[in-house]
Amino acid sequence: MHPPAGANARLKIDIVHKAFRSSNGGVIDVLDELHLAVEENEFACVIGPSGCGKTTTLRMLLGLDRDFDGTIQLPGSGDPRVGAVFQEPLLLPWRSVEDNVRLALPKALRGKNLDSLFASLGLSKMRSLFPAELSLGLARRAAIARALAIEPDLLVLDEPFVSLDEATAQQLRYLLLAVWAERPTTALMVTHNVREAIMLADRIIVLSPRPAHVVGTFVIRLPREKRNEQVRGDLLRSFKEKFPDQQ
């Protein structure tokens, strides 16, 4: 369940147990004693083997799966706003880019000026286009805009750059960081890409195979603007020394 969170509270996940029932009636244990925290305005990445329960954890954060033993404390106060970016853009094909973004706005933000957000993501000239007229990279930008437009207390990202060519993915990583830096918010992102995590994250949380628990964390205190290619290479070597089983 999601208990009330105090103002500016950190994200705190305490899952005692999560399981699914298989088609043959058996039980598949997915998460077991999964405990992690993300500090206010911290960008954290979660890495772990395929099928270990990363996406399941995000679904629980979003309130899409409430069948688990444990508690989740969301950052923010009152009714925290959560912005989500999934592996697919999930844009409504009959709505323009701007309409897709505005549909996500809560009542308090209706009529919000989105000029700066669209400009930051390179979407100023795309606002009236429909999803079918966009490349996959531009559709991903629209999905990011939709998540950030609501001024979220928590930004959740589920491998948002998967299936993109590396040049496009890298461009989007820089764009995401630029927009996030203008209004930092607590962020939790699932990725299989350690290099990506080292570029984006303040903290990398490593999960075990299923049933998942936290194996350890890798904290990066160096400012992102100082993480050039050589520094990222050094950080990658340090990460692999600490977590040799990770790719």
Domain CATH number, residue 211:
3.40.50.300
What is the total count of domains within the chain?
Answer: 2
pLDDT at 1: 46
Q: Please indicate, yes or no, whether residues 214 and 164 belong to a single structural domain of this protein.
A: yes
Does 98 share its domain with 193?
no
What value does the mean pLDDT take over residues 14-28?
87
Residues 147, 163: one domain? no
184-196: pLDDT as tens digits:
999 999 999 999 9
pLDDT band at residue 247 under the 50/70/90 scheme: low
Instruction: Check pLDDT > 90 for residue 146.
Output: yes
Task: With cut-offs at 50, 70 and 90, classify the pLDDT of residue 51.
Answer: confident
* Residue 209 maps to a domain: yes
Structural domain boundaries, residue 2: 1-80+153-247
pTM for the whole thing? Answer: 0.90
Question: How many residues appear in the chain?
Answer: 247
Whether residues 45 and 157 share a domain: the answer is: yes
- CA–CA gap between residue 175 and residue 122 (Å, rounded): 9
Examine residue 86 and state whether it is found in any structural domain, yes or no.
no
Is residue 246 situated within a structural domain?
Answer: yes
Q: Read off the pLDDT band of 6 (50, 70, 90).
A: very low
Interstrand relation of 82-85 and 154-158 (parallel, antiparallel or unpaired): parallel
- How many CA atoms lie less than 13 Å away from 178 in the CB half-sphere? 15
Q: Quick one: pLDDT at residue 106?
A: 86
Q: Measure the CA–CA gap between 31 and 185, rounded to whole angstroms.
A: 26
Under the banding of pLDDT at 50, 70 and 90, the label for residue 246 is confident
Distance, CA of 115 to CA of 194 (rounded, Å)? 33
- 246 and 167 in one domain? yes
Are 67 and 96 in the same domain?
no
